[in-house]
Amino acid sequence: MLYAILCYHREDVVGSWTKEEDDAVMAKLAVVHEKLAREGRLGPVARLLPTTAATTLRKDSDPPLVIDGPFAETKEQLLGFYLVEGETLEQMLDTARELGRANPGGSYEIRPVGLYHPAAAPGA
């Protein structure tokens, strides 16, 4: 089964990291990424730009409404997601725990992927 790991964290905290702190977290995550890649389980990985760069299209009205900012006003923001192969939820939880040790705080949402399109962008 293919799973998405959705990365939630407090954007004000992540945005307050110094470049050194940010680099350090990314380096620790890269170790986990490399392991998953060796196992052939790692799909595309994305880190998203801050939510302030987001625009939301609300489709519950006709015509759809364009709104500045991210979808939900919550304490934590969606800062990225993983697509990772896993046989069971337990295995995915282990993977999430492993990532969490490299980057504590916030949460990961684990959700099976119903529809998957391989990355089609050039160079991906």
Residues lying near another protein in the complex (CB under 8 A): 10-13, 15-17, 21, 49-53, 55, 66-69, 75, 104-105
26-35, long-range: CB < 8 A, 24+ apart:
28/102, 28/103, 29/99, 29/102, 29/103, 31/102, 32/98, 32/99, 32/102
88 vs 107, beta carbon nearer another protein: 107
- Shortest Å, Cβ 16 to another protein: 4
Q: Which is nearer to another protein, 55 or 61 (CB)?
A: 55
Closest separation in Å from C-beta 96 to another protein: 18
Cβ at position 3, least distance to another protein in Å: 26
Q: How far apart are alpha carbons 95 and 33 in whole angstroms?
A: 10
Please say which residue, 17 or 116, places its beta carbon nearer to another protein.
17
For residue 84, with 0-12 CB atoms within 10 Å meaning exposed, 13-18 middle and 19 or more buried, which class applies? buried
